[in-house]
Amino acid sequence: MIRALSILLLTVMALTGQTAALAETPPDQKAVLITGASSGLGRVMAETMAASGYFVYAGARKDKDLEELTAIDNIQGVRLDVNKQEQIDAAVTTISEAGRGLYGLVNNAGVAVVQPLIEIEEKDFDFQMNVNVYGPYRVTRAFAPLIIESKGRISIIGSISGTLSSATWGPYSMTKFAMEAYADALADEMRSFGVHVSLIEPGAYRSNIGKSALERMAEKNQSADDSQFKEAMDASVNWLSKFENDQGDPTEVAAAVMKALFDDDPKPRYLIVPTQEQAYWTINRAIERMVEQNHDQKYSYDREALIDMLDAALAKQSGEVLQ
C-alpha cells in the first residue's frame, strides 16, 4: 500500500515538474547572494561557491552577464543594480519566492574613483559613495529579514584602503573606511539574531576595478596632466593599470569569503593580501594610527601599558586566558 502511494506521488510530481525541482534543490543546500558578480572578484566568488555545491544568486546589471551566469550550474543570475531600489526590491521578491531561503549575503559591488579630494567633482564623489557605501546599506537592509530568518552570514568586501589612504585615493578610501565602521556596528546589531558579520579586507588582487576606473577617466577626458597632483595621479593610473593582469590570485579572496560564510567560528575580519609588503603597509599603518591617537593626550598610555593591551588583544584572538 505504502509503495503504491509512493509511486502515485512520484507520478504526480513528475507530471507537474516537481521531481526536477527537488533534484535541483537539495534540502540542505545553502543559498548565497553576491552583488557585483558579473566579473572580477564577484565572478570568482560565485563560481567558487557554485562549484563547492552552494546555490548562488549572482547579482548583475547586463542581460549578457545574467545569461552567462545562469548558464553555470548552481547559479541564477539576478538583475541587481545596488543604486536602484526597485531592482533591489524585485530581487528580494525573486529570492523569497524561489523558496530556498537565503543563508549568505556578500556585499561585493564596488567602484574606484581616483582623484584628488580638492579637484573631484561632486557628481563623481556621489557616484563613489552611492555604490560603495549606500549600496551595501540598501542591499543589507532589504535582505536582512531573510538572513535573520536563516540565522545566516553577511560578508562585506572592504579593502586595505580602509586602513591606508594617500593622495588621489581619498574618495575610494573614504568608502572603505566607512565599511570598517559599518561592519562593526552591523555585527553588534545582528549578533542578537544569531547572524555573523565579517569584513573582508583584500589587498591588490586581479579584478576589473582598475580597468573600469580608467575607462571612466577616459570618458570624462580626465588626465593626470590636468591635475595639480600630476605625479600622484600618474602613480595611481599606473597602479590601476595593473589590476587586470599583474595582481594577486582572486581565488584567495574567494576562499576567505567561504570561510566567513561557512566556518563554524567565523572571524570578524579577514585581511587577505598577496604580498608580505601589503601586509606590512596595513598592519604598520594601523599601529602608527594608534600611536598617533595616544600621543600627548590627557590619558596617554606608556609603552608598558600599550604592550599589555597588545598582549590582551593577541590572547583574545587566540582564545588564551592571561594570568
Residue with cell 534543490: 25
Whether pLDDT at 221 is above 90: no
Indicate if 96 and 127 belong to the same structural domain: yes
Indicate if 129 and 256 belong to the same structural domain: yes
Asked if 57 and 103 touch (Cβ cutoff 8 Å), the reply is no
Long-range contacts at 230-238 (CB < 8 A, ≥ 24 apart): 232/116, 232/166, 232/167, 232/168, 233/114, 233/115, 233/116, 233/168, 235/168, 236/114, 236/168, 236/169, 237/114
212 found inside a domain: yes
Asked if 177 and 67 touch (Cβ cutoff 8 Å), the reply is no
172 is catalytic: yes
Q: Using the 8-state DSSP alphabet, how is residue 269 labeled?
A: E
Residue 323: what pLDDT? Answer: 52
Mean pLDDT for 107-126 is 96
- Residue 197: give the domain boundaries: 30-274
H or E element in which residue 93 lies: helix 85-98
For residue 173, give every residue at least 6 positions away whose Cβ sits within 8 Å of its Cβ, in sequence order, or none. Answer: 161, 162, 164, 165, 166
Residue 258: what pLDDT? Answer: 98
CATH of the domain at 46: 3.40.50.720
pLDDT band at 156 (very low <50, low <70, confident <90, very high): very high
Q: How far apart are CA 157 and CA 199, in angstroms?
A: 6
* Candidate from 31-35, 61-65, 135-139, 209-213 with smallest mean pLDDT: 209-213
Of residues 200 and 236, more confidently modeled = 200
10 found inside a domain: no
Residue 322: what pLDDT? Answer: 53
9 found inside a domain: no
Sheet with 196-202, edge to edge strand ranges: 75-79, 55-60, 31-34, 104-107, 153-157, 196-202, 269-272
Residue 14: what pLDDT? Answer: 35
236 found inside a domain: yes
12 found inside a domain: no
Indicate if 170 and 301 belong to the same structural domain: no
18 found inside a domain: no
Indicate if 139 and 209 belong to the same structural domain: yes
- Give me the catalytic one of 54, 57, 172, 182: 172
* SS3 state at 279: helix
Whether pLDDT at 308 is above 70: yes
What is the residue-averaged pLDDT of the chain? 90
Indicate if 133 and 241 belong to the same structural domain: yes
Q: How many residues does the structure list for the chain?
A: 323
16 found inside a domain: no
Residue 1: what pLDDT? Answer: 40
Indicate if 113 and 161 belong to the same structural domain: yes
Asked if 274 and 205 touch (Cβ cutoff 8 Å), the reply is yes
Indicate if 110 and 256 belong to the same structural domain: yes
Q: Using the 8-state DSSP alphabet, how is residue 131 labeled?
A: I
- The whole-angstrom distance between residue 228's C-alpha and the CA centroid of its chain comes to 33
Indicate if 125 and 246 belong to the same structural domain: yes
Indicate if 62 and 197 belong to the same structural domain: yes
Indicate if 223 and 246 belong to the same structural domain: yes
7 found inside a domain: no
End residue of a domain, out of 238, 257, 274:
274
Asked if 154 and 140 touch (Cβ cutoff 8 Å), the reply is yes
Indicate if 310 and 214 belong to the same structural domain: no
Indicate if 42 and 73 belong to the same structural domain: yes
Tell me the angle at which helices 85-98 and 135-150 cross, rounded to the nearest 10 degrees: 20
Number of domains the chain is built from: 2
